[in-house]
Amino acid sequence: MTAVHEALAQLSLVDHHCHGVVTDDLDRDGFEALLTEGGRWPGSGISPFDTPVGVSVRRHCAPLLDLDRHAPPEEYLARRAELGAREVNRRFLASAGTGTYCLDTGFGPTELAADDVYEVVRLESVEEALVANGVEPD
């Protein structure tokens, strides 16, 4: 490893836009729903685990759960369930090398067990709240 690589490896990262972690244990449908922002493919025989992100999750995340790379989805999900959401989150966040998170609380889970956390204010969420409360523009 070069001196540059060594220096970079010592830096803690800033995630400039992230969402909170899931704090509940998920079944397969719940987990697969998080692997895609698109619609589901019912009856297609295609699982989100078969997409590039699904393969990447099994490649990079499975070893953090003490599994082989590319462990089958069933094995991966069983291990997550065995460890529980809290331990899975602890392992993933600890291995990320991230020291600061800019957390988007306007969409999805908002809990994050991390070091420094700053909130990202989503303008569309502020606008929706204003409209819902009956605030009219000047």
Per-residue pLDDT tens over the stretch 108-130: 554 444 566 677 777 888 788 88
Q: How far apart are CA 29 and CA 33, in angstroms?
A: 6
Splitting the chain (138 residues) into consecutive groups of 10 residues, what average pLDDT does each group show? 86 84 90 80 79 94 98 97 96 90 67 61 81 76
3-state secondary structure of 118: strand
Amino acid 11: pLDDT: 86
Q: How far apart are CA 65 and CA 15, in angstroms?
A: 22
Is residue 49 helix, strand or coil? helix
pLDDT at position 116: 67
Q: Which two tokens stand for residue 48?
A: 């989100």
Report the alpha-carbon distance of residue 36 to residue 31 in Å, rounded.
10
The full set of domain ranges for the chain reads: 1-23+97-138, 26-37+44-83
